[in-house]
């Protein structure tokens, strides 16, 4: 599920999982660094059904998913945007585009390897940030480029790709 901020991506994924039934593993990549984010995370947690299992995995999501022993039919990974941000922010400030590419796509490849071994349906949420303003900073440009590459790689493996705009889903693949 791709889309801009507040486009309905997470809600769409959660509703789809509710309708399918079965055990759900929700993989959260957000971290609460301020009061606003703490409130958003708390609201998201409260909105999820109590029988869903939440795995907090802002880093090394692939390894944490692989090690998780909660049996699940559906996995919601929310979101690649924050995961990409975390990977980039762990790099040295002077990291090259090549180093950023290696770090971000390495994490994506590890996720796809876990996906390939999984019997669950995966719903992956990510922002589409390449349709807006060109970022004015080096880190902003790296983030836009790396997230775009991550989204392309995941979309290439996905059975379906949806773009959400104003809560409406457009089927891309």
pLDDT at residue 87, rounded to an integer: 96
Q: What is the pLDDT of residues 108-128, one digit of tens each?
A: 999 999 999 999 999 999 999
Residue 2: how many other CB atoms lie within 10 Å: 23
Length of the chain: 173
pLDDT at residue 171, rounded to an integer: 97
How far is 78 from 26, CA to CA, in rounded Å? 8
- The residues, any chain, with a CB within 8 Å of residue 131's CB and separated by 6 or more, are 4
Average pLDDT over the chain reads: 95
The whole model's pTM is what? 0.94
Check if the beta carbon of residue 66 is closer than 8 Å to that of residue 124. Answer: no
Residue 93: how many other CB atoms lie within 10 Å: 7
Q: Which of 27, 34, 71 is nearest to 48 (CA)?
A: 27
82 pLDDT exceeds 90? Answer: yes
* Active site (catalytic) residues: 44
**How would residue 93 be classed by pLDDT, with cut points 50, 70 and 90?**
confident
């Amino acid at each position: 599920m791709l889309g801009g901020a507040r486009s309905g991506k997470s809600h769409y994924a959660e509703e789809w999982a509710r309708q399918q039934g079965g055990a759900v593993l929700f993989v959260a990549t957000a971290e609460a660094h301020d009061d606003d984010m703490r409130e958003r995370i708390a609201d998201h947690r409260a909105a999820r059904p109590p029988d869903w299992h939440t795995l907090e995995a802002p880093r090394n999501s692939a390894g944490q998913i692989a090690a998780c022993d909660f049996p699940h039919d559906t996995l919601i990974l929310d979101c690649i945007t924050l995961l990409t941000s975390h990977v980039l922010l762990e790099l040295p400030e002077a990291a090259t585009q090549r180093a950023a590419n290696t770090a971000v796509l390495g994490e994506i490849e590890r996720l796809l390897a876990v996906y390939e071994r999984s019997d669950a349906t995966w719903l992956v949420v990510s922002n589409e940030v390449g349709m807006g303003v060109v970022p004015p900073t080096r880190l902003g440009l790296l983030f836009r480029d790396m997230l775009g590459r991550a989204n392309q790689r995941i979309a290439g493996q996905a059975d379906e790709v949806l773009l959400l705009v104003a809560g409406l889903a457009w089927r891309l693949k």
